[in-house]
Amino acid sequence: MAHKFEIYKDKAGEFRVRFKYNSETIFSTEGYSSKASAQNAIDSIKKNGPGAETVDNS
């Protein structure tokens, strides 16, 4: 699969999520104190992302 979410621990010990496509990081999240919070962020993105509007601020 070319698309994937990764949960990882940063140098500060916080859990972060990054979304990758073909090994390129598309975006990453803020740091979370628990792995469960990072998983909740993934669940929220999956649930709310498809219907999100696009705002062009250029």
Residuewise pLDDT in 10s, the chain (58 residues): 689 999 999 999 999 999 999 989 999 999 999 999 999 999 999 999 999 999 999 9
Identify the architecture of domain 3-37 in CATH: 2-Layer Sandwich (3.30)
Long-range contacts of 13-19 (CB under 8 A, 24+ apart): 17/41, 17/42, 19/45
Boundaries of every domain in the chain: 3-37
Distance in angstroms (rounded) separating the CA atoms of residues 43 and 37: 10
Q: What is the pLDDT of residue 2?
A: 87
Strand-pairing partners, residue 5, are: 19
Q: How far from the centroid of its chain's Cα atoms is residue 19's Cα?
A: 5
Task: Kindly report the pTM of this predicted structure.
Answer: 0.84
Token pair listed for 38: 């990072």
Q: What is the pLDDT of residue 1?
A: 67
